[in-house]
Amino acid sequence: MHELLNDPIDVIVSFKDNRVLPHAMRWNERDYKIDNVNLVHSAREGTKRVFYFSVSDAANYFKLKLDPELLEWRLVELYADG
């Protein structure tokens, strides 16, 4: 199942070596532990740069969007295996 979303989420992160590492997220009143950060990329929205984190747990792939101006996280894509 592949879904495109744009839902605000809460994310627990750590900062290390000028990098942001998401560890867990809360979406739809449910907590998800992030097992792997598979890819991080950025994109421009006009003069603003936003960051996308492609992460996964044992059963789901999530694409998270970080707006560094608003310090806001959103879940923009979900893929569940099977």
Partner 1 sequence: MRMDNGRIILHIDMNSYFASVEQQANPFLRGKPIGITGKNQERSVVATASIEAKKLGVKTAMSTWEAKKICPSIILWPGDPEKYADIMHRFNAIYRSFTEHVEEFSVDESFLDLTEEAQDYLGATCMAQAIRERVSEACGPHITASIGIAPNRLMAKLASESVKPNGLTVVRPHEVLNLLDQSDLEDLCGIGHGIREHLSQLGIESFQQLREFPLERLMEEFHGYGLWLHEAAWGREVVQEPSHTSEPAKSYGHSYTLPFNTNDPVVLKRYLLGLADKVAWRLRRDGVAARRISAHVRFADFSGHGEQRTSIEPITDGLRLFKIAWQILAPFLQHAPVRLVGLTASLISSDPKRTSLFKKEQHMQSVLSSLDLLQHRYGSGIWKRASTLPVEFKSRSSGFRFDHEL
> With binding defined as CB under 8 A, does residue 81 bind partner 1?
yes
Q: DSSP labels for 10-60? A: EEEEEEETTEEEEEEEEETTEEEE--EEEEEEEEEETTEEEEEEEEE-SSE
Q: Does 44 contact partner 1 by CB under 8 A?
A: yes
Neighbours of 27 (CB within 10 A): 19
Q: Which is nearer to partner 1, 13 or 61 (CB)?
A: 61
Q: Is 46 in the site for partner 1 (CB under 8 A)?
A: yes
The answer to the question of residue 17 lying near partner 1 (CB under 8 A) is no
Among 42, 68, 70, 72, binds partner 1 (CB under 8 A): 42
